[in-house]
Amino acid sequence: MSTNNPFARLPEAASFTVTSTTVTDGAAWSVEQYSGLSGIPGGKDVSPQLSWSGAPEGTRSYAVTVYDPDAPTGSGFWHWAVADIPATVTELPEGAGDDTGSGLPEGAFQLPNDARMARFIGAAPPAGHGPHRYFIVVHALDVDTIGVPPDATPAVLGFTMAGHILGRAVLTATAETLA
């Protein structure tokens, strides 16, 4: 597993709190968060429940991303990206990231992940590749809308957010597929 820090070259941001009934910080995903769409037996591609609090003053919206920097791609793998979550929302239910975004608040939308699906796609690390880290991040932003089109990539979202991030709340999950 690499030790790269996906935040090392990003602007500093205040820290706030994100919790989940689905995943414990530093612990492995449950089978529901593995990817059946990618052929993992028992995987259900269910996005995690998330709750957050303590965002910095001036927060006008949120974005949520799930990123695996350990994927053997040279650029990691984006599993989920949600933009334009209103500042009044401080929770997403488990499964919000389904094909229709049924659990997302009005105005929020999912961008296509690296599998080119606008939904959450679960963990599917290559067998024998070792443990992967999944950074689940709630970004507090200083704008009501981030202004990216719905077909933008999560990397474009990240680039566009860089100058608007007031705070960052992070949980890290892990996954490993044995050979």
- Torsion sign, CA atoms 45, 51, 56, 57: positive
For the residues 114-122, what does the mean pLDDT come to? Answer: 97
Structure tokens at 138: 């709630």
- Residue 6: inside a domain: no
Q: 128 lies in which domain range?
A: 14-175
The CA distance from 168 to 7, in Å, is: 10
Tell me: the pLDDT tens digits for 61-112?
A: 999 999 999 999 989 999 999 999 999 999 999 999 999 999 999 999 999 9
Quick check: 173 pLDDT over 70? yes
As for how many domains the chain has, the answer is 1
* Alpha carbon distances (Å) from 133 to 55, 58, 102, 109: 24, 30, 26, 24
CATH number at residue 23: 3.90.280.10
Higher pLDDT, 9 or 60: 60
Tell me: the pLDDT tens digits for 128-157?
A: 899 999 999 999 999 999 999 999 999 999
Give the predicted TM-score (pTM) of the model: 0.96
- Residue 26: inside a domain: yes
